[in-house]
């Protein structure tokens, strides 16, 4: 009873922090009058349709509930000075009409530019900032999109600790036997987590002939045929060609973002545990973490969709982020992940490296590294932000973020603030979904958005290689500003 009474007070504080800043020109009334959209047209939904569709996932897809328990983990307001500093964040991004840099962007500006429907900032596990827009409320269940991939990879780590899966060296076809004799045969789970299987896949969301569009057709089938449809699609994918060698890519050599591979990884977990991802999540995390509301996950015939379709309230996304920030420790201190799992999960694969942006890679076990770039010179774009500029290259993560591990024989970074962006890793989903975690600064940021496109520069339907790999400049710049403000 005391827990419930405390929780009511926390919710009240959250509502006081929430404001009704509306993104773009979309109003709550417009959203309320929009009927449920057709899931088949998801990648071309209007802004209003995205708000409705992303907040009513269980009415569009087959889902399984993750039931909350009796105990709710409280989220308290942050210290008054932290509340003030978070609300007063200012950052430089974009240009004015006369070409000069646009300085003084605010949190409200960021929400409008990002078409954000909700934003949550947790400092030391407490609410430093909470905003909602377009009719979204603290009780809304919102679709994660691909941010669920990071949850799936974490559940894989848990399945290893629980003994269901022996090693990341196990081949995917050990658990998904339908892949025997296909391009996936012998591909280790580690390569699946790195999106480097060596199997071809076209992730172009706006190309109706792409693999991701074909997978969406399988997912839209509300019957029991959805898992077999997806498996059959993936079993027909050919080997990818390694551009460096001109022959079939070997696992681990070529980074190629694939929602299909995250589905297969999730399926391997479910075959090993004999539980759906929703059931495994409920048993191992949902109730032990003290989630405040029921969640749900796209599930067909006992198979949850490990690549997306995870739905929860803003606060519960935040609770999950705090769990990851604490390296997989429950509120009672129980460790649920193998030792060094989060360090390894955020050690970026060189196959995903981008010169001058992420020299040592940008992708881990379904986690992204995302340094920020800013318009910090008149008339120029894509210059590194001050927090990143003097570092030269990313640092690899550790279980103890106080001790940075330099890579490529570079010496330790001197004179950098604790909020250096190299310590921020992210779960990212299409149309602007975000769970950003900075272990060094004990910061978690959750963002829901309805961007016009799956990624700001995605996709040219005539170019199958143009997938969602944009650095999300303003998002990263805003995160760095928030990190600095709360440092």
- Least confident piece of the model among 67-76, 99-108, 269-278: 99-108
Report whether pLDDT(145) > 70: yes
pLDDT at 130: 98
Query: Is residue 78 packed enough to be buried (19+ CB in 10 Å), middle (13-18) or exposed (0-12)?
Result: buried
Q: How far apart are CA 394 and CA 383, in angstroms?
A: 16
User: Which CATH number goes with the domain that contains 284?
Assistant: 3.40.710.10
DSSP annotation string for 84-115: HHHHT--B--SB-TTS-B---B-HHHHHHHTT
- Least confident piece of the model among 309-323, 380-394, 469-483: 380-394
Contact of 81 with 75, CB cutoff 8 Å: no
Nearest Cα neighbor of 424 from 358, 349, 340 is 358
Per-residue pLDDT tens over the stretch 330-383: 999 999 999 989 988 988 888 987 765 666 678 999 999 866 543 333 333 433
- Least confident piece of the model among 19-28, 162-171, 201-210, 384-393: 384-393
- Residue 19 three-state SS: coil
pLDDT at 63: 95
Rounded alpha-carbon distances, angstroms, from residue 336 to 96, 329, 459, 470: 49, 6, 38, 33
Q: How far apart are CA 299 and CA 280, in angstroms?
A: 13
DSSP annotation string for 398-422: -SSTTS-B--TTPPPP-S--TT-GG
Percent of the chain with pLDDT over 90: 61
Query: Is residue 128 packed enough to be buried (19+ CB in 10 Å), middle (13-18) or exposed (0-12)?
Result: buried
End-to-end CA distance of the chain: 36
Query: What are the two backbone dihedrals, phi and then psi, of residue 434, each rounded to the nearest 5 degrees?
Result: -150, 135
Q: How far apart are CA 155 and CA 271, in angstroms?
A: 13
Rounded alpha-carbon distances, angstroms, from residue 274 to 77, 228, 280, 289, 291: 39, 17, 9, 22, 24
Contact of 396 with 405, CB cutoff 8 Å: yes
Percent of the chain with pLDDT over 70: 78
Rounded alpha-carbon distances, angstroms, from residue 261 to 171, 246, 310: 13, 23, 17
- Least confident piece of the model among 183-187, 251-255, 460-464, 466-470: 466-470
The pLDDT-based confidence of 2 (bands split at 50, 70, 90) is: very low
Domains in the chain: how many in total?
1
The pLDDT-based confidence of 458 (bands split at 50, 70, 90) is: low
- Angle among Cα 49, 50, 54 to the nearest 5 degrees reads 120
DSSP annotation string for 259-308: HHHHHHHHHHHHHHHTS-HHHHHIIIIITTTT-SS-EEEEEETTEE-TTS
Q: How far apart are CA 457 and CA 465, in angstroms?
A: 12
Contact of 194 with 249, CB cutoff 8 Å: no
Q: Which domain holds residue 435?
A: 2-486
Average pLDDT over residues 278-282: 98
Contact of 129 with 242, CB cutoff 8 Å: no
Report whether pLDDT(422) > 60: no
Nearest Cα neighbor of 329 from 321, 337, 318 is 337
Per-residue pLDDT tens over the stretch 96-133: 778 777 788 899 999 998 999 999 999 999 999 999 99
Q: How far apart are CA 127 and CA 119, in angstroms?
A: 11
Q: How far apart are CA 481 and CA 472, in angstroms?
A: 15
Average pLDDT over residues 161-173: 98
Q: Provide the sign of the torsion angle of the four alpha carbons 310, 314, 315, 321, taken in this order.
A: positive
- Least confident piece of the model among 204-218, 279-293, 454-468: 454-468
Per-residue pLDDT tens over the stretch 10-57: 333 333 344 444 445 577 777 778 899 999 899 899 999 999 999 999
Q: How far apart are CA 367 and CA 427, in angstroms?
A: 5
pLDDT at 157: 98
169: left (phi over 0), alpha (psi -120 to 50) or beta: alpha
């Amino acid at each position: 009873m005391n827990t419930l009474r405390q929780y009511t007070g926390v919710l009240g504080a959250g509502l006081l922090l929430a404001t009704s800043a509306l993104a773009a020109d979309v109003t709550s009334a417009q959203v309320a009058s929009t009927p449920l959209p057709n899931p088949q047209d998801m990648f071309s939904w209007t802004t209003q349709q995205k708000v409705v569709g992303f907040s009513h996932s269980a009415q569009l897809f087959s889902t399984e509930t993750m039931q909350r328990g009796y105990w709710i983990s409280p989220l308290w307001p942050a210290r008054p000075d932290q509340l003030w500093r978070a609300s007063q964040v200012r950052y430089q991004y974009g240009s004015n009409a006369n070409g000069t840099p646009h300085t003084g962007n605010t949190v409200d500006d960021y929400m409008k530019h990002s078409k954000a429907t909700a934003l949550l900032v947790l400092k030391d596990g407490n609410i430093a900032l909470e905003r909602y827009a377009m009719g979204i409320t603290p009780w809304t269940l919102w679709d994660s999109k691909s941010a669920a991939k990071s949850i799936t990879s974490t559940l894989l780590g848990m399945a290893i600790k629980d003994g269901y899966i022996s090693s990341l060296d196990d081949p995917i076809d050990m658990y998904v036997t339908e892949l025997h004799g296909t391009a996936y045969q012998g591909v280790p789970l580690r390569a699946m987590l790195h999106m480097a299987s060596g199997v071809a896949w076209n992730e172009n969301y706006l190309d109706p002939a792409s693999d991701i569009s074909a997978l969406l057709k399988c997912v839209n089938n509300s019957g029991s045929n959805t898992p077999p449809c997806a498996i059959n699609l993936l079993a027909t994918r050919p080997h990818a060609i390694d551009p460096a060698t001109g022959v079939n890519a070997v696992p681990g050599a070529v980074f190629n973002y694939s929602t299909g591979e995250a589905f297969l990884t999730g399926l391997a977990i479910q075959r090993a545990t004999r539980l759906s991802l929703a059931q495994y999540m409920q048993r191992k995390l949902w109730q032990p973490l003290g989630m405040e509301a029921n969640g749900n996950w796209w599930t067909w015939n006992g198979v949850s969709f490990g690549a997306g379709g995870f739905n929860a309230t803003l606060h519960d996304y935040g609770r999950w982020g705090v769990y990851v920030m604490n390296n997989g420790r429950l509120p009672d201190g129980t460790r649920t992940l193998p030792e060094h799992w989060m360090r390894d999960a955020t050690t970026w694969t060189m196959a995903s490296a981008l010169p001058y942006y992420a020299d040592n890679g940008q992708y881990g076990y379904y986690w992204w590294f995302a340094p920020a770039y800013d318009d910090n010179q008149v008339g120029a774009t894509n210059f590194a932000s001050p927090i990143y500029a003097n570092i030269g290259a990313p640092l690899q993560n550790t279980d103890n973020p106080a001790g940075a591990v330099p890579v490529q024989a570079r010496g330790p970074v001197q004179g950098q603030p604790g909020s250096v962006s190299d310590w921020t890793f992210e779960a990212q989903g299409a149309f602007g979904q975000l769970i950003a975690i900075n272990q060094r600064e004990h910061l978690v940021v959750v963002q829901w958005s309805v961007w016009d496109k799956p990624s700001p520069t995605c996709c040219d339907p005539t170019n199958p290689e143009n997938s969602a790999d944009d650095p999300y400049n303003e998002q990263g710049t805003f995160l760095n500003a928030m990190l600095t403000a709360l440092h």
